[in-house]
Amino acid sequence: MGNYSSVEFKPNRHGMTSFVPEELSRYVDHCRFQTRIEKLIFAVGKCNARLDKNPDLFQFYHLMSRRDAIIATGSRVPSLDLLELLVHEADGPGVRIPQPIFRLAKQNGDIVLRANRPESAEDFLILLETMRLADGDATTMSGRENSHQTNKRSANRLSTTFDQIGLHVSAQIAEHVQSLAEFVNSGGQISMLLRLAIAIARICTIFPCSIGGYTIGRSLTTMMLRWEGLAPLFVSRAFAKHAASLEEALQSGQMNGDWDLWCFTFLDIIEDSLLETWTCFDGLERLSSEWIEALKAAGVHAHSSAFSIVRSLAFDPVVSANSVAKRLDVSPQAANKVVGNLAAIGILRLYGEAGRNRSFFAPSVLAILSEGEA
């Protein structure tokens, strides 16, 4: 641990004295985490190598991002909410989706999985504000109530200044964001995972959980991993699991300058999220293999269109007769026969009918993605 006698302790937004060093990384015992980080980086790399071999990789990330949105909103029926979200995206707005789920799912898909690393402090602040607004409950950093207009401006190309988008932030926040942006984009000698842990600690200090600190932190964790060429782990479940420990660690860091506990807890989150990703991916790949064996056992011809659908169904679990017809370039009658055969052996289940178009889903996929979340 470092010497904190020369560090200034400042009142935070709640009137409490907070430890907010500009160079927080100086106050972390790097050696204490070195062995664990090396093992974790190796495990992440191993997971990456396996994921990269799957042709449906991005579709898997898409599924995990939707799962994450369901978890982040504290759904009481995660399997049902996930199904309805996937059907809504596959077949259009026929299914009503709760707004918190819709906002977070859209953010995960449009921003977290696609946004480039911001090149300036202005770009970084716009990105942070856009992520925080997905929470939908907090007031904006500028104190305005029109979050829709702010979100619309924030979603534009990340090339505007604070004044141009109307984010009249305090000089203190602007200074912290400038420093944080430089830290996030720095390579340096510090381990990437420690840099990530420290960045999220600073996010939660600048923007407490009452104004979206954890919402930003979850999203930024996924993006920073992706920017570093690693699997974009979605961490909402692990954040929820370790919520009490995170709050204790954050207070310890702010009040006493001991950020080791925070880093230790954050590595727990990465470890748990990596295990979740591995478990879900392994389960879906195994499911796909089981389906292929089930088709063979049912006497389905090896060149049947059913095999083509089944190979991608584990990562795209909602289909309709129309979507199958387009994918296979076959007639609607042939597509209906394919999905009907898959339903007959229990791979698909009928969700609903709209005219002549029947929607189906794979319940086994939802069971894997929703396991243990109810």
Which of 235, 291, 226 lies closest to 267, judged by CA?
235
Q: Is 352 helix (H, G, I), strand (E, B) or coil?
A: strand
Instruction: Report the chain's C-alpha Rg in angstroms.
Output: 23
Residue 24 carries which DSSP code? G
| Residue extent(s) of CATH 1.10.3290 domains in the chain | 10-280
Q: Write down the pLDDT at residue 15.
A: 40
Q: What is the pLDDT of residues 77-134, one digit of tens each?
A: 888 999 999 988 887 666 778 888 888 898 898 899 999 998 888 888 888 878 877 6
Mean pLDDT, range 245-250, rounded to an integer: 92
CATH number assigned to the domain with residue range 10-280, chosen from the 4 options 1.10.12, 1.10.3290, 3.30.1360, 3.40.50? 1.10.3290
> What is the DSSP pairing of strand 318-320 with strand 357-361?
antiparallel
Helix axes 321-328, 332-344, angle to 10 degrees: 110
Percent of the chain with pLDDT over 70: 75
Is the pLDDT reported for residue 163 higher than 50? no
Angle, nearest 10°, between helix axes 30-52 and 57-72?
Answer: 130
Residue 342 amino acid letter:
L
pLDDT-derived band at 34 (thresholds 50, 70, 90) equals confident
Q: CATH fold of 287-370, please? A: Arc Repressor Mutant, subunit A (1.10.10)
In contact, 101 and 75? CB cutoff 8 Å? yes
Domain with CATH 1.10.10.10 in the chain: 287-370
Question: Are 235 and 222 spatial neighbours (Cβ–Cβ below 8 Å)?
Answer: yes
Extract long-range pairs of 184-191: CB within 8 Å, 24+ residues apart: 184/117, 184/124, 184/224, 185/117, 185/118, 185/119, 190/25, 190/30, 191/30, 191/33, 191/34, 191/37, 191/41
Longest dimension (CA), the chain: 77
% of the chain beyond a pLDDT of 90: 33
Do the strands 349-354 and 357-361 form a parallel or antiparallel pair, or are they unpaired?
antiparallel
